[in-house]
Amino acid sequence: MRYPHIIGCLMALALPAVMLLGCSSPQGIAVNERQAVVMEATLLNAGILADNPSLITVSGRMQATSVLSNTQNMPVTVHYRFYWYGKQGLEILPVEQPRSVTVAAHSDIQVHSENDHPEAQRVRLYLYPE
């Protein structure tokens, strides 16, 4: 007969802890800043390096810019797409169409994207080979 009393006491102790966990949860989805550039390994093997995108506001639009560098003796074609995220970490739709650029041997090229969505605050650059 003591068991219902013990279970009731345990539940009474656990309830505040569960409620505190709910209070400490972050608003929105966290966007990992270290994953601002996602690149397929074959591009790394081909000698392509990419800077994290820098963000500026131009005429009320967010603009992301990244520099791609080719460290090898041959040109490399890179396909890329920027993904935009709002302040709560949710992806902003519609997603941009993929684009391509050829980075000449031992040179740099700048890629960019613009977004006029009022909540656009973060961006991720995805790079992949042909």
Residue 111 lies in a domain: yes
Segment 40-85, tens digit of pLDDT? 999 999 999 999 999 999 898 999 999 999 999 999 999 999 999 9
101: left (phi over 0), alpha (psi -120 to 50) or beta: beta
Provide mean pLDDT across the span 4-11: 54
Q: Is the residue at 24 inside a domain?
A: no
Q: Is residue 13 part of a domain?
A: no
Collapsing DSSP states into helix, strand and coil, what is residue 123? strand
Q: Is residue 74 assigned to a domain?
A: yes
Q: What is the tens place of the pLDDT at every residue in 16-30?
A: 554 444 454 445 555
Tell whether omega for the bond before 118 is within 30 degrees of 0, i.e. cis.
no
Residue 6 lies in a domain: no
Number of domains in the chain: 1
pLDDT at 2: 55
Residue 48 counted as domain residue:
yes
Tokens 């993904």, residue located: 83
Residue 16 in domain: no
Q: What is the pTM of this model?
A: 0.74
The CATH number for 71's domain is 2.60.40.3230
CA-wise closest residue to 49 among 76, 69, 73, 75: 69
Range of the domain at 74: 33-128
Q: What is the DSSP string of 28-73?
A: S----GGGSEEE-HHHHHTTEEEPPPEEEEETTEEEEEEEEEE-SS
